[in-house]
Structure 1
């Protein structure tokens, strides 16, 4: 599998345009972390973000949950902001909760997890960032920083 197949433009466009609720795994109130800024951008693009972090903090006005399994409503995308060695477990949980897509952030690479998610019928993007892809491939609404 090549790095190019990890972020096929058609899949990226579909995930950005046709989803509403994004569970952001690793999102906390630490504004220095990339997840914080990406979650804010997603909100500004009309997405509902759901913080998923062991601390279960409220972030950007949205209630947090300690795990994906605790979220009491459907999730479209699981956005993975954890180390690569933890990403496979998060991907498997995303499949278990019935998410429609998994997005592995920049430098989060687990080819086996990518294949499992894709084979389960979910859309999957790996080693990409929505904050970078939105201005390039997102819906016609201009990205806001």
Structure 2
């Protein structure tokens, strides 16, 4: 019985140490609000695919508005592939939410543009700000493509 406790304790310590590994891209960085897109930081996600849930969560958590990020839904059954990002209050003060919601449409456009650049098979993205007092915004990759823009 003592040996079992020692083995379980060692396993738990090992798992905690493995989990403390710091990455350049955070998986759940809600303690630090991101206000600008850091293209250098996000470059490791270039060529990601919608079907890679881990990369998509890393992406959303490292774009502006990350502290409001609540849920991610991926649509990969048929093309075009897409995702829905839902934002919520997450215990953040109404004052801070009111400041954020003033610019959420512009932020969504910029975030969508970055997502389309990084995620090669992303055809559309939907941002749901209804819990924050905003709207649901939809963007399609073909709306961003122009003669001067390469994907």
TM-score range, shorter chain: under 0.3
Mark the structure with the bigger radius of gyration.
2
- Bigger relative CO (Cα 8 Å, ≥ 6 apart): 1
TM-score (norm 1): 0.23
The answer to which structure has the higher helix fraction is 2
TM-score (norm 2): 0.22
